[in-house]
Every structure is written in C-alpha cells, then in structure tokens.
A and B are shown apart, each in its own frame.
Chain A
C-alpha cells in the first residue's frame, strides 16, 4: 500500500470546524443580501418589475364631428397610425438614435430637439416621433420589435376636412398643442403631442370636440413584445357640434367668390344664425391636420393675398357708402338734421373750406333722404354729417354695432374702429378736424369695419333695433341680444330707401334687380346698400389722372336683406381690389346668393349649383363611405 494512506494520520479537526463556521458565515451573509433585496428594498424592486412588464399606450379619443344645420357631416375622422418613442430608457434611445432616424426618415436633429423638449415630462409619456406613419414606417417598426423595443405604434384618429378648402376659415384646423397652450392650460389638461384646435371652430369649441383619451396597459415580455392586455381605459369620444351653416348656401357663397378676394357672410336677422361664411382665398385645413411643414406654413403666411385671414371677421376696411344707412338712422333718430332735410346736389360742394365731389359728377339735383339712399348721394350725406357732427355719428355708429366685436363664436375676430373726437385726442393728441367728419359721413377716413359687423348692424336696423349675436353653433345658448330701439318710422324710411336701391330706377343696386328678375324672384323684396371704398386716400386719388383713376381698384361692399319687413336673410358681400364699383360687383353676387336662398326655400333646384354639377359632385361634403367611423382598434 502506498504511503499516503495510513490510519495513523491525524485529521486537522480544528481546522475542519473552522471551515464549517466559514460555511455558516457565508450562507448567513448571502441570506442577509437576499433579505436586503427582498424585504428592505422589496417595494422599489416591485415598482421596477411593474415598469418592466407594463407598457401604457394611449388610446386616442376621436374628436367630435362637425355637422351642418341639417346634420350633414362636414368634418369627420379617419384612423391612422402614429409612431411613438417610449422614453423609459434614455441610454437605449441614445444608442438606437441613428437606426431610428434612418428607418423612419427623420433627421436626428429634429428628434433630439423633441427629446430635449420632452425632458421635463414624466418618462412614461411617450413621444410622438411620426404623427402619420406610412406603410414603410409601420413595416419598419414591426420588423424591429426586438432590437428597437422603444418604438411603438399608436392608432390615432385624424381629421378629415372637406375638399376644395370648403368652409376652411370657419372650421379652422387642429394641430399639436403648443408649449404656450400647455403652460396656459396648466395641470394635466394637455400633454405634449396632444391634438387641439388651433383656429376657427376647432379652436372655439375645442372643449366640446375633444374627447378624453383612454389608456391601454399591456404586459410586454423582455423583448418588448406584448403578451396580453392588462386593461383598457376606454376613450370618451368628443361630442359632435352642429352648425348653423347650410352646406348648400356655403357652396353658393364659395362659388361666387371663386377667383376673387373677399368675403360673404349670410345670416338670419331673426336669430343671428349664420347660414354661410366664406372668405377667399382660402387654405386646405387637411394640410394642418397632420403637422404642417415649415415651408407650407411660410407660403401661406407670406402670400400677399393672405389666405389664412378670415376676411369675414378679420378684414377691417372702410365701409364706404354702406355707412350712409347707419348715418340715416342717426339722422332720423336724433332729428338732426330734421327728417324732411333736403339739399340740391350739383355734383360738388364746399365743406369746411374744401371742395368735395359727389361720386356722380353730374349731380343728383334736389335730394331728400330716400333719394339720397337710393342714389347714394354723397353731397346729401356730407351735409347731414356736417350737421350731426362727429360725436353723434360716432355714437350711432357704435350703438348700431360698428367698431366693436360682434361676439361671433369664432376666435380672432377683429374689432374694427369707429373714430370719435375723444379717440383722436387720446391717440393723436390733437382736436378732431371737422373736415374728417365729412369723409366719415360717406364711410371713408379712419373708420374700419368687418363684414360681420356690417351685416349684423344692417340686420339689426331692419329688425327695428334688435341685434342678435351672430353665431355658428346651432345650440348656442344663450344667444346674446342687444336692443337699441329704433322707431318704426325710421326703420320704414331706411328700409324703403334700401328697397329703392335695388328696385327703383337709378338705384345703385340695379344690377341686383336684373339678377332677380331673371330668376323671376323680383317679388321677394330684396333690399340693400352698395358701398365702394377707395383703397387710396381722396387726396391721393386727386393726384391721379382721369385714366388712372378709372383703373384704380376699389373695395366694394353690398349689404342686403330680404324681405323688407321681418327679414329672413341678410347677406354681406365684400370684394377687394375690384376694378368695378360695388353696384357692378358686389350687388349681383348678393342677389344671386339671395336667389339661391329662395330657390332652396321654395324647394326649387338651386340653379347656381345645378349649373355646376360636376363641381358639386366633387365638392359637396357628404359622409363618405370610405371614411371609417371612429372605431377603436
């Protein structure tokens, strides 16, 4: 037997026991380590485990639809996918950034900027890196589930606006909530990337249209693949809004403005409901429904024709001769000058040492109020203005609704301006020049009104001094009403004059009558007033030669209503930069619009739309079968 095996060998028992103690100590230390993790820090790790496996994806609530007064769908939604970047793991994102930007075709500078902006937000809030994913983008995300688990798809509902810029200014558009809106709203009303109304009704009624987003919580495995859905918090869809707009009348208005720069607003004087509101040129809100590119935005903003401007409520222009209606009301109501006031118009006159011309160099002869309105005699109203004085004119103009907001339910309405001696002293620190009163008397000079103000004002006068808040929401409640009682006699005289404008020989709105006669609608008692405002000062105009003056362009107005008593429809037409005066441009448009209104009312085919059936087919918005209604995935 070999020498290493021997029973006589003594074992180092002490050291073996020492080893046992070491073993016990080692196991105890391990248990201590487990204790620390499983008992002391258990909550912390439970949180981490929860975050590991649970992924929250918002379920976007569809916005409410926008319907016309008969319930026809004007604005709908369609489903689309957005690509989200989950931000739980900044190191991973940093590493994957080149792959993500290359795969989705976005610049890394953009993405880094977005990430920097979102830094203050809670990490579980994902970032929308691509609002509208193409098929290629979807394929990219799906095929990189394992190596790019931070990318996630989210179904969203996008706005589908009518084609051909239909009702664009009224509807407005949506866009991503801006940092200012975020800060302003405060709390957790919005989160970055939320879609909110930015303009028009989308903005005005954002709170109604916006639903409450839901949340889907999913269990994901270690490679980010969803294993099962934990729970869904159902989104609450936004509520639809029904408008006072009649899509047919809107179509007529827009067709009338095609190729022109201007606006049309039509409303019901009995309640302030707006039937049509068009402004041209317009824009395509669909361009905004995703994320408008800086280039497109600049193009729209820099366009000299200002397509983003809703001229119906934002164009602030001199009313021209339409102002004579308000002045007539002031004259009759104040008795200065007396109702039977009349002048002889030779075609010119001296006022405060200044020679002033009538628009008609031949003059109008003996003129009383009725004839002055019908023929739009400047000399008569110069005299009236001189007698009334600035403060009376200003008082009545303001009381009848000019120079202040009408309260229409649209954002960004402009107030316009009615000058007064007090205003001039406050702003220019000099007394009112009486000569300015003469210009003001025919709606020129430093007076600025919007189309919506004019139509509301004239409607109110025709209604005997009841001014309804113009509005677009059918169920708006309460509709504010301003009462400025006007005597029956005043209403009668003024509306008679306006009837004469259209219906009497020599009236400035005779072109309108021709239109109505053709349509055999001459018995509808269409009343109105033309207005032509020079886009250059009177002095400037004098410097031009006669030939040049002829080519000079005007802002032309027509404000009309029908019938004469208790009017049901009032319409204002503004055409900017026309070579023709109001009687030749704005009046026929207004007449054709009123014609269409009555054709529709009488159940006749609307000739204007019939004549352009091909256009109508492609442009009248109806609920399309292709539009999948708000369904959740």
Chain B
C-alpha cells in the first residue's frame, strides 16, 4: 500500500497545485504536506524491504534492496528540496524575480518530477522505467529554463535534445535485452526478474552491444563523460533546489537503471565487459571533471562538475566490484546528501549576491554566517576529507581496485588531489575574503537554512555511524549487483 501512496501523493499534489488560482500559501501547504508523506511512505517501503527482502504491490510495482537504497535517497533529498523551495521561492517573489504563476508552475513540475523518479524506481518493467526517466527530462526542461533568460533557454534546449537522444539509445538497448526474452513469448509481462533469469540464454555479444547502448543512453542522464555536456549547464541554470534534486536524486535514479541492466548483462555472460566499461567511463568522467573544476569560474557549475566526478567514482566502484560495489552504493547516498547541502548553500549565496560567478562572491562567512559554515562543511565533505563519509567510501573504492587496476587507482588518486586543490582555491576565496561593504549581513529566512543544516547533521552522523539495518540493506543491494 505504501507504494501506491508514494505514487499517488505527488500526483495529487501536482493536480491540487494546478487547481490553485491565486493563493501562493496553498501551494506551499501542498508541498509541505506531500513531501513528508512521500518520505514516510518511502521509509515504510524500505523497512519492508529490510524485513522481507522486497516490497511489492500487485504484479507491476516492487522494490528490492537496490531500489530501496536509491528510493530513500530520492525521498530524503525530495523532502529537503521541497521545504527549501518554499523559502527560496518566497525570497525570489519578494525580490520581484518571479510571480504567482511561476511559483505554481514550479511546484506542479516539482511534484511531477518526484512522481516520475518514484515511478522509475518502483516499476517492475524496464520499459516502464524508461518511460519514467524520459518523463523526468520532460518535467524538468521548464524548470531549467525557469528564469526565462537566453542562457537558461539554451541550457534547457541542450538538456532536452541531448537527453532525448541519449534515452532513445537507452531504449534501443532495452529492446535488445528484451529480444532475448521475446524468443520465449512476447505476450507476457517481462519484468526485471524474467529478464535476468532468461539472460543466461542470451547471445553474449548481443548482451555486450545492448549494454553499450544502455550505458551510453542512461549514462547521458547520469552525466558520465563524454555524454556529460548538458549537465553543468542544466544544473547551473536551474533554481538551486532543482539543481539539488537533479544532482542528488536524478543521477542516482539513472545509475539505478544502468545497474539493473548490468545485472542482466552479467547474467548473459558479459560481466567482465560491463565492469571494464564502467571503469573506463568512470575514469574519463573523473579526469574531465577534475581539470575543469580547477579552472571553474561559476560556483554552481563547480558543484555540477563535482557531480560528474562523483558519478565517475561510483561507476569506478561498480566496475571494480566486490567491496567497491558496497562502497559505491554508500558513496551515492553520501554524495546525494553532500551535493544537496552545497546546492542549498549555493541558493542562499545567489539570493544574497545575485550572481553565480565565483569572483563576485566575497566574504560568505561574514555576509551569510550559517550558510558560510554549511558551505565549508559541504566542501570538506564533497572533496572526501576525513572524517566525512565520502573519505571512507573513496578509500574503499580505491582499495577494491588496487589488486587488479593499480595504474587506474594511482591516476584517480592524483585526480582527486586536483579536485581538492580546485575546490580549496574557490571555496576559500569565497569564504574568507572581505564582504562588500554595501552588502547587509544576515541570512534570508529560516526555511532556506533548516534543510541544509539538518542535512549537515545527518551527513556528519552518517559518516560516524551507519545503522545496522542500512548496512545490511546496502550489503544486500551490493550482493544483487555482484551476483
């Protein structure tokens, strides 16, 4: 039943939002009710999965341990982003940047975006998952062009075209995988389980070709290089809470699609091939992101390139396998939290400084005392400094690769040093410099502070203590991927 609630809530919230004619407060109420309900439903599903190994409704909706790991991340980032959006949009309305109709459009699309992501995780059908992920592209295109500026229009167009092409290639790969099951009758519903069971009879060469298409297709959505070109533009032009959702939630959903197909392709006898491909794309992503991070001039693009880097690290972990898989899953969770923290801080900085240029942001610690601390913690967390969780996951991922891929591990280590140097240069420049005298010190409103601060506490706590239930859930998910 929780699965139905999880899908019905954002749908109802979107419809209710569209029905509102003039009262902006109602839009906020719908968002403030929907997000906790969705989080509670997701938590119930995860508890069910921990207890029974699976949570299902009818023949078409189900979540296993792998889906549960991604689901709880999406619900958590969705909860934080929904509350943050209320405070953020209030500020934009107060400054006269947007009006009521834009706020209504924003919340309606936000609910639809969440609905699409939840459906992608919950559906048992590979085609259903493709439809849902394509729906995320369509629901977020107008959120990226939200400010209606030429640059945001350009970013949205790029996002729409590149992702549509990528996802069609992913669809082609999906059909190639389905072809193996079609031989034993296409009149039935083919779910992930059927696909995996019957993959053993699939031609391994066909499985490899299909996995290439899937990896290029969904990899475009994950932001893996060289298909990443849309990501920095889209993430930097979207309103900050949407950037947090794009980075902290959507990338994980697309990665989930790749992992599900990796399981199928491994069952077809192409395990080494898929692992090597993930390592290849992972390294390229980390390398491209590292070199651009050091030269970056825009802090939202800086965080966007960091997402490419971290998805590359996760891909590397899945490619290394074994302990690397467990660490990569945990890395995806930590990255979601840390990146949401950073994008929320970016939103507060944008409201205060009206610019996303690093050179124009000075004295954040003085002008925005709480946001400044959040930014610093976010920076240390995302660059993998101890004692934060990302340090541990990166350590485990690289450890997993030392035996079989030593040159890759050494190269990635050097690139991570480069990323740290780049972040250090930019963040210290923004944080510790003198704030402009004309700038009034102080945060905008509590709703733009509470979500990032709570996420900081959660992130720090999760670095020191991982509950046994979550540990076993991630272990079960890793076992599914490792086969």
A, B in one complex: no
Q: Name B's A-contacting residues (CB within 8 A).
A: none
